[in-house]
Amino acid sequence: DQQVKQNSPSLSVQEGRISILNCDYTNSMFDYFLWYKKYPAEGPTFLISISSIKDKNEDGRFTVFLNKSAKHLSLHIVPSQPGDSAVYFCAATDNAGNMLTFGGGTRLMVKP
Amino acid sequence: DAGVIQSPRHEVTEMGQEVTLRCKPISGHNSLFWYRQTMMRGLELLIYFNNNVPIDDSGMPEDRFSAKMPNASFSTLKIQPSEPRDSAVYFCASSPPRGTTRFLETQYFGPGTRLLVL
């Protein structure tokens, strides 16, 4: 049973518009969440993270929102750029903080 | 810094053959992770080493899979015998010693090995 789920396998957005990628989790012990970005033929790279003590974390065009009661987080990219086209993975960890549980990924395509 | 190095980048083999994937972590990193990416299951953690010692191998699919880390600069993931359902991209990642803050964002991934078992 997947503890971290990304229900949208793909998303297509026009350049300049907002991209919203969603992630749901089931394990209430998760307290730290991360987003990774992956280009073809490359490994994932860290993008942004959020602790469960916060509900929002912003870094430039990227903002992650956390709704603990709904066990839901989302990544907003504004404005979206063609270079943002990649697969985005949501990940979570518990208090031990040793291992990450990843979602299945969402392929984002930003059209010029 | 060369980053995490994985070899081979691509491997095509026949069912029943032994497959060995290799990883060289970033120098100075003391944690190493093996992941598998498939369409069905996304990115799964297979095994995690800390200071060359396997800490958690609960993600290893079955006895056909084994991993070793004989020293701080080298790790292998072996599949024997291989099966078509093992076809996936296998990633190795490393991270530096854990400090007073969360270190997970500093988990650096290699480019992956794309394995195809016919």
pLDDT at B56: 87
Beta pairing, strands A101-102 & A86-94: antiparallel
Any B CB within 8 A of A102 CB? yes
Flag if B104 and A49 touch (Cβ within 8 Å): yes
Flag if B110 and A43 touch (Cβ within 8 Å): yes
pLDDT at B99: 65
% of residues, chain A, pLDDT over 90: 87
| Residues A45-61: tens digit of each pLDDT | 999 999 999 999 999 99
pLDDT for residue B30 is more than 80: yes
Tokens of A30: 């998760």
Query: Which sign does the torsion angle of CA A39, A61, A98, A29 carry?
Result: negative
pLDDT at B89: 96
**Selected residue with higher pLDDT from B58 and B102:** B58
pLDDT for residue B100 is more than 50: no
With a CB cutoff of 8 Å and minimum separation 6, the contacts of A53 are none
Any A CB within 8 A of B15 CB? no
Query: Which sign does the torsion angle of CA B37, A44, A65, A108 carry?
Result: negative
Average pLDDT, chain B: 90
Any A CB within 8 A of B104 CB? yes
pLDDT for residue A40 is more than 60: yes
Flag if B91 and A6 touch (Cβ within 8 Å): no
